[in-house]
Amino acid sequence: MNQIKTVGLLGLLSGLLVGIGYYLGGSSGALIGLIFAGGTNLFSWYSSDSIALAAYRAQPIAPEQAPDLYGMVQRLCDRAELPLPKLYLIPTEGANAFATGRDPQHAAVAVTQGIVNMLPADELEAVIAHELTHVKNRDTLTQAVAATVAGAISYLAQILQFGAMFGGMSRNDRQGSTNPIALIAAIILAPLAATVIQMAISRTREFSADAGSARITGNPRALARALQRLEASARQIPIAVNPAFEPLLIVNAVPAQAFSNLFSTHPSTAARIENLLKIEQQLLEQGKTVPSF
């Protein structure tokens, strides 16, 4: 169901891009918008990992520096049938983690010093399993595409805005019949809708990664406990982060307020825990036991 939701939301996002491109320049404008998005998507696909790791000042970890962490990740990768990703440490006491990379063969998992220090082993395993699920589901690619298309929509809206301010041309202008309602929708509502859709895609992928973690570890409650600790930690030690990279984190760098949930990159912690407890009940009914690593 979450995969269907994601495809549908990406379709809506693409439709917005084509629509605003068409308004800006007719059929040729829509084509230019798609080419622009395709080019930036390709760049994001190849470069998103290095950009994200640099943004968080993540440093590579050698196996001899953290043998226990490497052993934990290797065991989880064996269960998830994934190659071992590169591991990075983020030098901050804020507790968080993220995965990046264009595919499982070029993946990286980054953890903060704070999360390594704070979480007990079973909860850290659950967090890493969550990130490995993002890798397995190629969510990093999905999020890069969503962010790039949303950015393209905002860029085209800015072109329209400057055109309207300085007497520029839109497709309707050239035909002598400017539609002010359509112009306002293209300038204001389209970027707003793109942001809402992008955030909805991110929230959907988080639910899927939570479910993947629960099934890899067989211990949904460990991730539920970890999410509670991480949210409490984020309130005390928020991480300074570029908003463009916040969807990568396992929890918001700064917990969202109730009124801003529509624009939050993550579902509420309460909703995620509720979903994890449902999965726990399903696993119990199936006779699945919590593995001992």
**Cα–Cα dist 90/83, whole Å:** 22
Cα torsion 215, 217, 222, 224 to 10°: value is: -20
Handedness of CA 182, 184, 190, 193 (dihedral sign): negative
81, 123, 125, 131: the catalytic one is 131
**Cα–Cα dist 171/136, whole Å:** 43
**Cα–Cα dist 187/164, whole Å:** 10
Q: Which residues, at least 6 apart from 255, have a Cβ–Cβ distance to it below 8 Å?
A: 231, 234, 235, 269
**Cα–Cα dist 30/264, whole Å:** 29
Q: Treating both helix axes as pointing N-terminal to C-terminal, what angle do 269-285 and 220-236 enclose, rounded to 10 degrees? A: 170
Instruction: Please classify residue 76 by burial: count the beta carbons closer than 10 Å to its beta carbon, then call 0-12 exposed, 13-18 middle and 19+ buried.
Output: buried
Q: Examine the residue annotation and report whether 246 is marked as an active-site residue of this protein.
A: no
| CA distances in angstroms from 17 to 34, 57, 260, listed in the order given | 7, 33, 24
Give me the residue label for tokens 């939701």: 5
Residues recognised as catalytic: 131
